[in-house]
Structure 1
Amino acid sequence: MSSKATRRTLIAGAPAVAALALAACSEEPSGPVLAADAALPDEVPSGTKLVVGDPSNQLAYERSGLVKELGFEIEWANISGGPKTQEAFRAQSLDIGSVADIPPIHANWTNLPTKIVAASGRLEPLEHPIYDLGIAPGAGITSLEGLRGKKIAYSPGQAQGALVLRILDKAGLSQDDVELIELPSTADTYSNALAGGEVDAAPIGGTQVKSYVNKYGADGATTIPHGLRDDPWVLYAPVEVLEDASKAAAIAEYVRLWGAARLWTRANREEWINAWFVEHEGLSYEDGEYLFDREGEPDFPENWDETIARHQETIEVVAEGTGNPVLEAEDLYDRRFEPLVTEGIDAYGEAGAT
């Protein structure tokens, strides 16, 4: 980074941190209305409260000490994934959520205006994919072209569903060439469907990749790489929240420290594996090591042009596959927030709060 960022003025006291399944936001704006083209406020007014659905980064903020740098009251909601964040947005019980790049598209298709306020990916994304394509025992699929005529798990409106459509596009196949089986992409659903012969192929990630092959490899279960970037990860918020000047200022503070908190987890490997994967997720240390290494290094673009261009390509593929209108990816991003992650990394790097 070329220059050090000047820290924003924080005027609220120490945050109250609470782990919540669902926390209530005020239905009325807590601050003045902020126009979409107005500069973000430089200060967070005292008494501002933000409800955040970003579970793994909650722990990163806390362990790194960066949570103490947030000058507003923060309530943590144990909410992640597109369907849950959108449900909470509609209920006005969540201010900002952490998801892949498909939920913001789907939200705007379903009359829930949202904006992306932070974006990240992975360095060497093809070497560190989020998903592999799981292949059922006896399916006989050894390449993407081999998906023709097969049953594929599909979750509309989620990253896994979009990946399936992109895989078909890469393989020169249409939905008419395969049978899409709608299944929720919850934990183990896809791997169980593969093992039970309900589907022939499904995108699986995390420890599912390892456990699926370990359990069913002797029966012929395999995985194959899809060769596509599947690493986009974003923070997004409802437009109505960003129109609240006080909440927009608080979101700016949160975004500013987002990259630094995640870099801290990479610099503190053993502590993070024990804290997140073992203590929080209930995994073995060995599985935690596997997932930590599989994640690879995060990448936080200083400029969103390339990120938006890739998002546009994804929108066009998914729109064609779902019959929805093509959105302008640029319209999904609030570029007022674009420089903030870089500012935070300049200020804190991977060291956390000092």
Structure 2
Amino acid sequence: MSSDSSPRRTIRRSALLVVALLTGLTSLPACAGADKTASALAADAPLPARVPEGTKLIVGDPVVKVALALSGEIDKFSFEIEWANLSGGPQTTEAFRADALDVGAVAEIPSIHATWTGLPVKIVASKLRKDPINHPTYELGIAPGVSVKTLADLRNKKIAYSPGQAQGALMLRVLKKAGLTKNDVTLVELPSTGDVYVTALAGKQVDVAPIGGVNVKRYSAKYGRDGGTTIPHGIRDDPSHLYVRTSTLEDPAKAAAIGEYVRAWARAARWVYEHPEEWIEGYYVKDQGLTPEDGRYLVDQAGEPDIPADWSEVIARHQETVELLAAETGNPVLNAKDLYDLRYESLGASAVNTVKGGA
């Protein structure tokens, strides 16, 4: 019996040892998670002043990447940046959900839609344009053969509409300004990417579409002889933001790095304004493949950037947009202030003022 029982006891002891080891290994992630939770940065805690060594951010901000390269600042960060070649709300939100992005550059709509779809996000930087009515981001493109001289003429027209993007919210604002509702027009859902809207106008798929950038100049040049025109909408359409997942800000290292990036982002905006010829050649011509004439048009159209140190007016306008979209979509009304991390409020403006002061 003793010769049989000894191997059995050995096997039992070995089995117990394996179970104990596996149990210990299995518990390690839980311990790591607990440590992470314990070290998470609270939403109301001051931002860390120093970025720890080894910190990395993945940033989707291709335009600023070029500006930083041209200004010589791209290699001056105290942390590693991996640049993601994406922009716009849908791409940025998808990258956030895939845990493939830390910082995105968008207008004011994506943060609203992200929150409505269960993705908590925070805005960490805001930029406007000085004299925004005379330097609009978009104009209303009018299809050849369609008569629209004023906003009131939009009644009964087919209008390109991109829910979830800045152009979509703009058209809702335009209709409101004109005293119209969506029942007074036909909204045609189209993504506002590339030259989709220009093509839709030229092909009479829509009567009206908000077009921006060099498309305004090119549309008039190409289709003006056929009656294609543009008209101003007279509404502020210039807000642009940097935003991040709320969970990213719980990482003290990334929260500190984001602060450093916000400062560089603001300086880049100012550098672009103060170095128009270098920007035209380095970005519009070499990077985007546009002509110098197109680049000069875009620089003039953009005007001077305005990076506010106080976000009160920005948030108030954002609240109007939230309420407009909520009424349109049936989603709950959000408190726009909850979309902003006010710890970053003054960083961009102070960085620009330091540059202006020559410090």
Instruction: Calculate the TM-score normalised by the size of structure 1.
Output: 0.89
Instruction: Give 1:167 shift.
Output: 0.6
- The structure richer in helix per residue is 2
State whether structure 2 residue 68 is matched by structure 1 residue 61.
yes
2:85 to 78, 81, 91: 78
Give runs of aligned pairs for residues 40-51 of structure 1, distance below 5 A.
40-51=47-58
Preserved CA contact (<8 Å) 1:32 1:246: no
- Residues 46-87 of structure 1 deviation map (CA, whole Å, 9 limit, x = unaligned): 000000011110111122122233210111111100000000
What secondary structure does 2:230 align onto?
A: strand
Determine the structure 2 residue equivalent to 1:7.
none
Q: What one-letter code is carried by the residue in structure 2 that aligns with 1:193?
A: A
State whether structure 2 residue 198 is matched by structure 1 residue 191.
yes
Instruction: Give 1:272 shift.
Output: 0.8
Preserved CA contact (<8 Å) 2:115 2:121: yes
CA distance in 2, matches of 1:347, 1:47: 28
Instruction: Give 1:30 shift.
Output: 11
Preserved CA contact (<8 Å) 2:106 2:241: yes
Preserved CA contact (<8 Å) 1:264 1:350: no
Instruction: Give 1:162 shift.
Output: 0.5
Determine the structure 2 residue equivalent to 1:323.
330
- Residues 252-299 of structure 1 deviation map (CA, whole Å, 9 limit, x = unaligned): 100122211111111111111101100010001110101111111000
What secondary structure does 1:280 align onto?
A: coil
Q: What one-letter code is carried by the residue in structure 1 that aligns with 2:76?
A: E
Determine the structure 2 residue equivalent to 1:283.
290
Determine the structure 1 residue equivalent to 2:4.
none
Preserved CA contact (<8 Å) 2:309 2:350: no
Preserved CA contact (<8 Å) 2:114 2:121: yes
State whether structure 2 residue 45 is matched by structure 1 residue 38.
yes
Preserved CA contact (<8 Å) 1:152 1:201: yes
Give runs of aligned pairs for residues 331-350 of structure 1, distance below 5 A.
331-349=338-356
CA distance in 2, matches of 1:350, 1:134: 42
Q: What one-letter code is carried by the residue in structure 1 that aligns with 2:96?
A: F
CA distance in 1, matches of 2:349, 2:329: 35
Q: What one-letter code is carried by the residue in structure 1 that aligns with 2:181?
A: S
CA distance in 1, matches of 2:89, 2:249: 19
2:143 to 126, 136, 139: 136
Preserved CA contact (<8 Å) 1:135 1:194: yes
Instruction: Give 1:300 shift.
Output: 0.5
1:218 to 222, 225, 238: 225
Instruction: Calculate the TM-score normalised by the size of structure 2.
Output: 0.88
Preserved CA contact (<8 Å) 1:31 1:245: no
Determine the structure 1 residue equivalent to 2:23.
none
Instruction: Give 1:350 shift.
Output: 9.3
Give the count of matched residue pairs.
325
Q: What one-letter code is carried by the residue in structure 2 that aligns with 1:66?
A: E
Determine the structure 2 residue equivalent to 1:253.
260
Preserved CA contact (<8 Å) 1:267 1:350: no
Preserved CA contact (<8 Å) 2:139 2:210: yes
CA distance in 1, matches of 2:357, 2:101: 28
CA distance in 2, matches of 1:59, 1:32: 35
Answer with 1 or 2: which has the greater Rg: 2
State whether structure 2 residue 169 is matched by structure 1 residue 162.
yes
- Residues 111-170 of structure 1 deviation map (CA, whole Å, 9 limit, x = unaligned): 111000000100000000000000111121111111111100000100001101111111
Determine the structure 1 residue equivalent to 2:8.
none
Preserved CA contact (<8 Å) 1:49 1:247: yes
CA distance in 2, matches of 1:31, 1:222: 59
CA distance in 1, matches of 2:330, 2:219: 33
Preserved CA contact (<8 Å) 1:115 1:239: yes
Preserved CA contact (<8 Å) 1:166 1:318: no
Determine the structure 2 residue equivalent to 1:102.
109
RMSD: 1.6
Instruction: Give 1:31 shift.
Output: 10
State whether structure 2 residue 165 is matched by structure 1 residue 153.
no
- Percent identical among aligned pairs is 58
Q: What one-letter code is carried by the residue in structure 1 that aligns with 2:204?
A: G
